[in-house]
Amino acid sequence: GAVVSQHPSRVICKSGTSVKIECRSLDFQATTMFWYRQFPKQSLMLMATSNEGSKATYEQGVEKDKFLINHASLTLSTLTVTSAHPEDSSFYICSATQGGRQPQHFGDGTRLSIL
Amino acid sequence: SQQGEEDPQALSIQEGENATMNCSYKTSINNLQWYRQNSGRGLVHLILIRSNEREKHSGRLRVTLDTSKKSSSLLITASRAADTASYFCATDAISGGGADGLTFGKGTHLIIQP
């Protein structure tokens, strides 16, 4: 149980493109989902907390207009990287909790490459 | 949020040996968790230890927590080639309720030599 699916697994696109990443909880309802970013050979950094039916909470230094988060249902959160540039290239990973309790269950991540 | 530190950053051992990784953190916590990440993949949850616990076991894994030193260790016994991965500790801070985002350590890259 507690499976989180993330799609797509890999995106390569031109600078200026907006990219949408989906995070789904397959066998449970997730009122809260989290989005992390990981640069090569580095650790994960929390970007934002996604709450179903309300606005996301962003970590300091993360631009909310750049990284749009929508959590319209109990099983789906989306992250849209708007007008992506090469510096946005990274590994983006989502996670979700069951019943609002730890541990977090992670998706397989999305490798975003902006040319 | 502040990140914890893990040591060693990289560890290479022979199959069958035990591997020990350490993690330190900076704030008061609810729980400390250990995750494994295979190259280019998401994270797999290994074990969660609560702030009022001192030691926990799960199969070949043993985790200790010392809240006075703000540190934790992960021991993998009888290592296997399939244990090759990066290992991260992660903490969630004390808050009013609900699950919080995690603060991750820098990770230990473990290589098991066959």
Identify the residue whose tokens are 């999305």.
Answer: A110
* Residue among B51, B45, B41 nearest B92 (CA): B51
> Can you tell me the mean pLDDT for B43-64?
96
pLDDT of residue B97: 55
- Among A44, A47, A60, the strongest candidate for a mutation testing the B interface, having the largest count of B CBs within 10 A, is A44
Q: Which residues in chain A show pLDDT less than 70?
A: none
In angstroms, what CA-CA distances link A39 with A14, A104, B64? 19, 20, 29
pLDDT of residue A38: 95
Give B76-100 pLDDT, tens digit per residue. Answer: 999 999 999 999 999 987 665 556 8
Percent of chain B at pLDDT above 70?
Answer: 91
Give A31-42 pLDDT, tens digit per residue. Answer: 899 999 999 888
pLDDT of residue B4: 63
> Can you tell me the mean pLDDT for B33-53?
94
Give B1-38 pLDDT, tens digit per residue. Answer: 335 677 889 999 999 999 999 999 998 898 999 999 99
pLDDT of residue B1: 34
What is the bridge-based pairing of β-strands B108-113 and B55-58?
A: unpaired
- Among B33, B102, B103, B106, the strongest candidate for a mutation testing the A interface, having the largest count of A CBs within 10 A, is B102
- Among B43, B58, B108, the strongest candidate for a mutation testing the A interface, having the largest count of A CBs within 10 A, is B43
pLDDT of residue B95: 63
Do residue B102 and residue A46 have CB atoms under 8 angstroms apart?
A: yes
In angstroms, what CA-CA distances link B46 with A35, A71, A110, B63? 20, 27, 22, 10
**Does A104 touch chain B if contact means CB atoms closer than 8 Å?**
yes
CB B40 within 8 A of CB A93: no
- How far is Cα of residue B33 from the mean position of the Cα atoms in its chain? 6
Q: Which tokens in the block code for residue B3? A: 């990140």
What is the bridge-based pairing of β-strands A76-81 and A19-25?
A: antiparallel
**Does A61 touch chain B if contact means CB atoms closer than 8 Å?**
no
Do residue B45 and residue A104 have CB atoms under 8 angstroms apart?
A: yes
Q: How many CB pairs under 8 A join A and B?
A: 64
CA–CA separation, B51 and A90 (whole Å): 33
Looking at residue B82, the DSSP 8-state letter turns out to be G
- pLDDT of B101 > 80? The answer is yes
pLDDT of residue B11: 94
**Does A5 touch chain B if contact means CB atoms closer than 8 Å?**
no
Residue of A nearest to B50 (CA): A102
Sequence-distant (6+) residues with CB within 8 A of A41 are none
